[in-house]
């Protein structure tokens, strides 16, 4: 799991192919909605430039189909503003024209390749695509943790052909994963939210072997409560997962892992929050009503339990936090985690959005840049984009 990094390489004069994650949100008129992903790549880019490397940046943007998709032109402009120098955008990401532009790069120079997913060979990890990237590179630096769970040409194929290491952002992600999951300070807890048990069962099973406490919120908690014999009204449940939920609780007891479910819930008949809202016991929800947030007693219980922890991992909101009537449970727990003294590691797009809404990002030790990659790491899976990197001595 420990990989060599950009700091282990001599870069002066060498062509440094950096896979970054510039998959930024775009507004309806094509402008950048948030430049956070660009900013997070800057330390690695600057490190390569300052070392005299000739820097080639590769990224995807959006989900092109049949060769049609968004251009990285707005990203090149914004990156140039952040670096304080123009960043030319290549007209393609592979091919003779691009190779000629790279050959003219001076030490410390930087170029951004056009959207790699405009080529179907990128996501297919086609050998000819990987070879096209390899012709641009003396060394490969992968700084795109958000795509590390995908075996694509720009993060796996090229790294099989050219010496490859982790960028600073990638190394940071892996370091926090080791601190939270491989060798955590104990006791350690996981706060899990989300809609379905079926999408989180692999995660829960992996965490049972590592956690002291697992706290479950979100809609998936109602499948567990129904499996216990509780009344959950019209709350979202997965009937086919009831037996799995029961087995999971039994296994937690056998392993000495404390598995906590909500004791109360904020309920409504309408998901949009337009009607009456009540708070009731989580296992006594009337017919026609659905649980849409953990209640205040649950928020206090979970927060108090997390106070005793030395390490906290968080994945998934515990309610429909986008709607004010059902946001307080998630926001209060975000504030509690941020205020606590435990090492806090959070991941997932919705989790990051909840942290931002609570205004406590500065209080979370690490917010992962990879939703799917973060989840797969927690599930104990090997990430292709990490496995291919050179191991540290």
Q: Locate 296 and state its tokens.
A: 């205040």
239-290 pLDDT, tens per residue? 999 999 999 999 999 999 999 999 999 999 999 988 999 999 999 999 999 9
| Spatial separation of the C-alpha atoms in residues 179 and 158, rounded to whole Å | 29
Please compute the mean of the pLDDT values over residues 220-235 and round it to a whole number. Answer: 97
Q: Is residue 139 part of a domain?
A: yes
Please compute the mean of the pLDDT values over residues 153-168 and round it to a whole number. Answer: 98
User: Under a CB-based contact definition with an 8 Å cutoff, are residues 282 and 218 in contact?
Assistant: no
Q: Is residue 383 part of a domain?
A: no
Structural domains of the chain, count: 2
| In a shared domain, residues 359 and 315 | yes
- 139, pLDDT greater than 80: yes
Instruction: Look at residue 238 in the predicted model and tell me its pLDDT.
Output: 95
| In a shared domain, residues 157 and 280 | no
Q: Identify the sign of the CA torsion 96, 98, 104, 105.
A: negative
Instruction: Look at residue 66 in the predicted model and tell me its pLDDT.
Output: 85
Instruction: Look at residue 1 in the predicted model and tell me its pLDDT.
Output: 66
Q: Is residue 313 part of a domain?
A: yes
Q: Is residue 328 part of a domain?
A: yes
Q: Locate 88 and state its tokens.
A: 């030319």
Q: Is residue 302 part of a domain?
A: yes
Which member of 19, 37, 54, 135 is catalytic? 37
Residue 29, CA distances (Å) to 25, 70, 80, 88, 269 in order: 11, 11, 20, 22, 37
Which member of 4, 46, 179, 196 is catalytic? 196
Last residue of a domain, one of 168, 193, 224: 168
* Tokens 């590592």, located at residue: 210
Q: Quick check: is 200 catalytic? A: no
| In a shared domain, residues 313 and 357 | yes
Which member of 253, 349, 359, 381 is catalytic? 349
Q: Is residue 1 part of a domain?
A: no
Q: Quick check: is 372 catalytic? A: yes
Instruction: Look at residue 195 in the predicted model and tell me its pLDDT.
Output: 87
Comparing C-alpha atoms, which of 364, 366, 356 is closest to residue 339?
364
47-99 pLDDT, tens per residue? 999 999 999 999 999 999 888 999 999 999 999 999 999 999 999 999 999 99
102-124 pLDDT, tens per residue? 999 999 999 999 999 999 999 99
Instruction: Look at residue 58 in the predicted model and tell me its pLDDT.
Output: 98
| In a shared domain, residues 46 and 157 | yes
| In a shared domain, residues 83 and 16 | yes
Q: Locate 191 and state its tokens.
A: 């706060």
Residue 176, CA distances (Å) to 20, 110, 173 in order: 19, 29, 5
Last residue of a domain, one of 168, 191, 220: 168
| In a shared domain, residues 258 and 368 | yes
Q: In this structure, what are the phi and psi dihedrals at residue 351, rounded to the nearest 5 degrees? A: -65, -45
| In a shared domain, residues 240 and 333 | yes
Spell out the alpha helix ranges (H) of 12-118.
Answer: 36-50, 73-83, 96-103
Which member of 95, 109, 372, 380 is catalytic? 372
Q: Quick check: is 37 catalytic? A: yes
Last residue of a domain, one of 145, 168, 191: 168
Please compute the mean of the pLDDT values over residues 158-174 and round it to a whole number. Answer: 97
Burial class (CB in 10 A: 0-12, 13-18, 19+), 84: exposed
Q: Is residue 362 part of a domain?
A: yes
Q: Quick check: is 300 catalytic? A: no
Instruction: Look at residue 273 in the predicted model and tell me its pLDDT.
Output: 85
| In a shared domain, residues 157 and 271 | no
| In a shared domain, residues 132 and 179 | no
| Spatial separation of the C-alpha atoms in residues 379 and 370, rounded to whole Å | 14
Q: Is residue 390 part of a domain?
A: no
Give me the domain span that covers residue 224: 175-378
Q: Predicted confidence band at 168 (pLDDT cuts at 50, 70, 90)?
A: very high
| In a shared domain, residues 206 and 158 | no
**CATH number, residue 250:** 3.40.50.1260
Please compute the mean of the pLDDT values over residues 287-312 and round it to a whole number. Answer: 97
| In a shared domain, residues 271 and 229 | yes
- 348, pLDDT greater than 90: no
């Amino acid at each position: 799991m420990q990989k060599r990094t950009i700091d282990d390489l001599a870069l002066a004069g060498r062509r440094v192919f950096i896979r970054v994650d510039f998959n930024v949100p775009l507004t309806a008129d094509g402008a950048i909605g948030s430049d956070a992903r660009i900013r997070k790549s800057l330390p690695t880019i600057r490190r390569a430039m300052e070392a005299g490397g000739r820097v080639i940046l590769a990224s995807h943007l959006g989900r092109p189909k049949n060769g049609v998709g968004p251009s990285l032109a707005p990203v090149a402009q914004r990156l140039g503003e952040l670096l304080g120098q123009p960043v030319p955008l290549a007209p393609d990401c592979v091919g003779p024209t691009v190779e000629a532009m790279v050959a003219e790069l001076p030490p410390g120079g930087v170029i951004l390749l056009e959207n790699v997913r405009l080529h179907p060979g990128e996501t297919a990890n086609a050998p000819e695509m990987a070879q096209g990237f390899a012709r641009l590179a003396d060394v490969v630096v992968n700084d795109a943790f958000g795509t590390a769970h995908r075996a694509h040409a720009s993060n796996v194929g090229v790294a099989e052909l050219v010496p490859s290491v982790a960028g600073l952002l990638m190394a940071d992600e892996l370091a926090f994963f080791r601190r939270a999951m491989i060798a955590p300070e104990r006791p350690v807890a996981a706060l899990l939210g989300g809609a379905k048990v079926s999408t989180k069962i692999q995660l829960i099973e992996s965490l049972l072997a590592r956690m002291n406490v697992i706290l479950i919120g979100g809609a998936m908690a109602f499948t567990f409560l129904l499996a216990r014999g509780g009344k959950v009204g019209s709350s979202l449940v997965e009937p086919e997962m009831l037996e799995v939920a029961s087995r999971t609780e039994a296994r937690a007891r056998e392993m000495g892992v404390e598995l906590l479910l909500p004791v109360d819930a904020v309920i409504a008949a309408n998901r949009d929050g337009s009607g009456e809202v009540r708070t009731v016991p989580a296992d006594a929800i009337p017919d026609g009503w659905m649980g849409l947030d953990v209640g205040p007693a649950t928020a206090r219980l979970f927060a108090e339990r997390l106070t005793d922890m030395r390490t906290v991992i968080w994945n998934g909101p515990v309610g429909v936090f986008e709607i004010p009537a059902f946001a307080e449970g998630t926001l209060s727990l975000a504030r509690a985690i941020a205020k606590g003294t435990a090492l806090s590691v959070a991941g997932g797009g919705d989790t990051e959005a909840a942290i931002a809404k609570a205004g406590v990002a500065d209080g979370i030790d690490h917010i992962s840049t990879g939703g799917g990659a973060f989840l797969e790491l927690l599930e104990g899976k090997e990430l292709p984009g990490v496995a291919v990197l050179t191991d540290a001595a």
